Amino acid sequence: MNSPRGRRRNTRRCRRRPASSSPSSPQPNWTAKDLNAIKVPTWIVDADHDEAIQRENTEFLAKEIPNAGLLLQPEASHFSMLQAPRQFTDDVRHFLERKWD
* Cβ atoms of residues 30 and 68 within 8 Å: no
Write the pLDDT tens digit of every residue in 4-57.
444 444 445 555 444 444 545 556 678 999 999 999 999 999 998 888 888 999
Class of residue 47 by CB neighbours under 10 A (exposed 0-12, middle 13-18, buried 19+):
buried
Given this model, what pLDDT does residue 2 score?
43
Residues 59 and 39: their CA atoms lie apart, in Å, by 18
Q: How does residue 101 score in pLDDT terms, banded at 50, 70 and 90?
A: low
Domain assignment present for residue 9? The answer is no
Residue 64 maps to a domain: yes
pLDDT of residue 26: 57
Nearest to 80 by CA among 50, 60, 43, 42: 50
Write down the pLDDT at residue 98. Answer: 84
Worst-scoring range by mean pLDDT, 27-31, 33-37, 61-65, 81-85? 27-31
| Domain presence at residue 75 | yes
Burial group, residue 21, by CB count within 10 angstroms (0-12, 13-18, 19+): exposed
pLDDT of residue 32: 94
Please enumerate, as own/partner, the contacts of 78-81 that have beta carbons within 8 Å and a separation of 24 or more.
78/20, 78/21, 78/47, 78/50, 78/51, 78/52, 78/53, 80/45, 80/47
pLDDT of residue 86: 94
Domain residues for the domain of 37 are: 30-101
Q: Is residue 22 part of a domain?
A: no
Q: Comparing 99 with 54, which gets the higher pLDDT?
A: 54
The type of residue at 8 is R
Q: How many domains does the chain have?
A: 1
In a domain, 6, yes or no: no
